[in-house]
Chain A
Amino acid sequence: MALPGLLYFLIYKYVPLMGVVIAFQKYKPVQGFLRSDWVGLDNFRRIFDTPEIEKYFINTAIISCYQIVFAFTVPIVIAIMLNEIRSAAFKKIAQTLLYLPHFLSWVVVAGIFYLLFQSDGQINHLLVSWGLHPINILSNKDNFRAMLVLQVIWKESGWGTIIYLAALTGIPPELYEAAKMDGAGRLRQIYHITLPGIRSTILILFILRLGSVLDVGFEQIYLMLNASVSDVGEVLDTYVYRMGVVNGDFSFTTAVGLLKGLVGMMLIVTANRLARAFGERGVY
Chain B
Amino acid sequence: MKIGKGLRIATALMLTGAMLTACADKGTDNSAGNSSGKSSAAAEKKYKISAMTILYGAAPPDKSTGKKAIEDRYNIEYNYIPVASGEYNNKLGVTLASGDVPDAVLFPYLDAVYFSSINSGQFLPLESYMSDSAKYPNLAALPKDVMDSLKSNGHIYGVPRLRGIPGATLVLRKDWLDKLGLQVPTTYDELYDVMKAFSEKDPDGNGKRDTYGLAAGVSNGFPFISLMAAMHAGPSVGWVEDGQGGIVPGEFAPNNKLAVGYLAKLYKDGLIAPDFAIKKDAQIEDDFLLGKAGVVGNWGYTAFNKDRLEKARAVDPKFELVAIPPLKAPDGSEGGYVKGAGFFGVFALNKELEKDPGKLDKVLHMLDDQLGEEGATFFKWGVEGVHYKVEDGQKVVTDLGKTEGPNQYQMVNHANEGDWILVSADTPETTALKQNSFAVAMQGKPYTSQDIGLYSATNAEKGAELTQNVVDGLVMVITGHKTIDYLDQMFEDWKNRGGSKILTEMNEAWKARK
Contacts and interface: CB of A to CB of B under 8 A. Distances in A.
Do A and B interact with each other, yes or no?
Answer: yes
Interface of A: 1-3, 6-7, 10-11, 14-16, 18, 28-34, 46, 50-51, 111, 114, 118-120, 136, 138-139, 226-228, 230, 239, 242-243, 245-250
A35 to B, nearest CB: 10
B97 A32 contact: yes
20 contacts: A2-B3, A2-B7, A10-B11, A10-B15, A14-B15, A18-B19, A28-B116, A30-B117, A34-B27, A119-B274, A120-B273, A138-B275, A226-B277, A228-B479, A239-B465, A242-B465, A248-B89, A248-B92, A248-B93, A248-B113
A247 B461 contact: yes
A33 B274 CA distance: 50
A120 B97 contact: no
Contact of B468 (A46, A51, A242, A249): A242
A239 B464 CA distance: 9
A59 to B, nearest CB: 14
Interface in B286-312: 292
Nearest to B123: A30
Nearest to B473: A227
Interface residue SS majority, chain A? helix
Given A11-B18, A29-B97, A30-B96, A120 B3 contact: no
A10 B26 contact: no
A230 B479 CA distance: 15
A170 B122 CA distance: 59
A136 B274 CA distance: 10
B383 interface: no
B249 to A, nearest CB: 17
A119 B116 contact: no
B120 interface: yes
A28 B92 CA distance: 12
Interface residue SS majority, chain B? helix
A10 B18 contact: yes
Given A30-B96, A246-B89, A248-B93, A138 B19 contact: no
Q: Which 6 A-B pairs have the closest CB atoms?
A: A29-B97, A227-B475, A29-B96, A30-B120, A248-B113, A242-B464
A118 B465 contact: no
Interface string B97-138: 100000000000001110011001110000000000000000
A6 B7 contact: yes
Contacts, number: 110
Contacts of A30: 96-97, 117, 120-122
Interface-centre pick from A32, A34, A136, A228 (highest chain B CB count, 10 A)? A228
Nearest to A228: B277
A1 B283 contact: no
Nearest to A231: B472
A119 B474 CA distance: 21
A114 B116 contact: no
Contacts of B460: 247
Contacts of A243: 462, 464-465
B14 interface: yes
Contacts of B113: 247-248
A7 B278 contact: no
A3 B7 CA distance: 7
Contact of B278 (A10, A139, A242): A139
Contacts of A239: 465
Contacts of B179: none
Interface string B159-200: 000000000000000000000000000000000000000000
Nearest to A14: B15
A78 to B, nearest CB: 31
A6 B13 CA distance: 12
A15 B464 contact: no
A15 B210 CA distance: 60
Contacts of A32: 26, 97
Interface string B27-71: 100000000000000000000000000000000000000000000
A226 B220 CA distance: 10
Interface string B463-478: 0110010011011100
A159 B479 CA distance: 40
Nearest to B283: A114
A148 to B, nearest CB: 14
A31 B278 contact: no
A239 B468 CA distance: 10
A228 B475 contact: yes
A7 B464 CA distance: 41
B19 A119 contact: no
Interface-centre pick from B92, B468, B476 (highest chain A CB count, 10 A)? B468
Interface in B150-165: none
A250 B14 contact: no
A228 B475 CA distance: 7
B273 A119 contact: yes
Contacts of A119: 273-275
